[in-house]
Amino acid sequence: MVFTNEKGVEVPNAAFLRLWTGMTASGLATWALPFILGLAVLDKSLSPAALGVVLATRTIGFLAAVPVGGVLADRYSRRAVVLWSGLIAAVASPVIAMGSVPLMAVAATVVGVGQGACRPAFQALVAEVVAVERRQQANAAMTLSVRVTTLLAPGLTALLATVVTTGWLLVGTGLLWLVAAFLPPNGAGKPVTQDTRPRLIDEFAEGIREARRHPWFVAGLGALSAVIFTGYSATGVALPLLSGSEAVLAAALTAYTAGALAGALIIARWRPRRQGWAALAGLACYGFAPLSLLADLGPVTLIAAYVVTGIGIELFNVPWFTATQREVEPRLLARVSSLDFLLSYGLAPLGLALIAPAIDAFGTTAVLAGCAVICFAAPAIAALVPTSRDFGRSRTARQTEIGSSRPVDK
């Protein structure tokens, strides 16, 4: 990322580089943990049941902390929230390897709290350290970080596991959390001073009211939640059941990540005329995942469908984050972002839990067809909301704002 200094010369945005590196470190720690615990199951130091408990409690901690983290990131310094969230996760990570299942579950919950609390703060910090006209590129770089860590974390973990124990690998995730805690920069925003502080729940409710003030956001979040509940669940449960072999399963998941990387690179430069409609069309591409499983046209078609799905999800994610940073009132941005994460991430485990019983009850064909229809229909319905075509203000108004903005030397 670059900005233009007072002499009109483009130079690197050091603040964003620090933010990006810190978020990448948190992503590596997040994605490595399940794989490390999976290795512990393979070497018989952890039972499958204990693995399920630890991962479930981490998810519970994440979901509980996201709304609180959003409120705190708006109430106090976003940088401070990232610091304390990272420190909490760093301290708890090695404890997962030190005791009984109850102690591991408590430590995993604390790690989940740190992970959940920092997410809305990271999202809000992007808007503080990056000028308006650079945010789409910045968000694309952020999502590239997520996809690269998803791709690399398991392999790096497996490589390190050949020379160190799982306990030391967990210590390594704690060190990554320390990087995430200390490296990100201070943002430009300042906490809002108040004589009296309302309750956390009242402040979060204020964030909900702000979200409802933007019809495109409500419609888009509804579509995203529906797609994750159905399409993501089909990928998580039906794909392993129907792929036919480990090789096809691995190829499809790799194709999805490769497509997402390509999508992030595309949207870093591409500016569609109707950005909201283009983003929702990208989200609808998730319907090709269950559709490819339903059609059963062979591995090549399945892999191609997952490439398209990966491209589409990033054609949605990057404009979605950028529009949220642009349209939402800055003092409420972390709370609105936390609402986004809470619903989208919160529905994912529920969908994963329900899709297998649904397949048993209604059959694979009916469930996959239903998932595909919802994935295609939900974004189409969201597109009917008038402000959805541009994700907020008109393109002319946005260009006026960009033209009048000046990058800040960080």
pLDDT digits (tens, 9 = 90+) for 243-268: 777 788 888 888 998 999 999 999 98
CATH architecture observed for domain 1-132+149-191:
Up-down Bundle (1.20)
Quote the DSSP letter at residue 387. Answer: G
- The number of residues in the chain equals 410
Mean pLDDT of all residues in 280-301: 91
pLDDT at 133: 84
Mean pLDDT for all residues in the chain: 84
pLDDT per residue over 58-101, tens digit each? 989 998 999 999 999 988 889 999 999 999 999 999 998 877 88
Mean pLDDT of all residues in 37-41: 82
How far is C-alpha 163 from the chain's CA centre? Answer: 31
pLDDT at 379: 96
pLDDT bracket for residue 393 (50, 70, 90): low
- pLDDT at residue 403 greater than cutoff 60: no
Tokens, residue 291: 């559709």
- pLDDT at residue 396 greater than cutoff 50: no
Q: Where are the domains of the chain?
A: 1-132+149-191, 198-410
pLDDT per residue over 313-342, tens digit each? 999 999 999 999 999 998 899 999 999 988
Segment of 17-21, 159-163, 271-275, 292-296 carrying the highest mean pLDDT: 17-21
Q: What fold is seen in the domain 198-410?
A: Growth Hormone; Chain: A; (1.20.1250)
Strands (E), 241-344: none
Percent of the chain with pLDDT over 90: 41
How far is it, in rounded angstroms, from Cα 277 to Cα 316?
Answer: 9
- The pTM assigned to this predicted structure is 0.83
Domain 198-410 in the same topology as domain 1-132+149-191:
yes
In one letter, which amino acid is 295?
A: A
**Which is higher by pLDDT, 75 or 349?**
75
Q: 165 near 29, Cβ under 8 Å?
A: no
Q: 184 near 25, Cβ under 8 Å?
A: no
3-class secondary-structure state, position 11: strand
pLDDT at 285: 95
pLDDT at 11: 39
- pLDDT at residue 22 greater than cutoff 70: yes
pLDDT per residue over 355-369, tens digit each? 888 888 888 889 999
pLDDT at 410: 31
pLDDT at 191: 59
